[in-house]
Structure 1
């Protein structure tokens, strides 16, 4: 019985790790996209400012 409980607990931890890895990958993707958006916005703003000078 104890082995079964430990096995179930281990499986639950494995599932939790998979979920956390998936969330990490999603967050990395979102941050990468947001970083690209910010860089593009700053670049566009720089061009606009240079044109005004």
Structure 2
């Protein structure tokens, strides 16, 4: 199973009802499993917060 995603929106960007968030590219027709994972991990709410990308800096 190979899957690729093309994101149409960035984290924190406004989204209108019916607007496409992403495109799923897969090597098979049935992408139900991928859709379920995405629905569990994408949150849409009144405000968007960008996630912390750098959690710590390691130096010697």
TM-score, scaled relative to structure 2: 0.23
Between Structure 1 and Structure 2, whose CA radius of gyration is higher? 1
Q: Scaled by the length of structure 1, what TM-score is found?
A: 0.25
More contact order relative to length (CA 8 Å, sep ≥ 6):
2
Higher strand fraction (1 or 2): 2
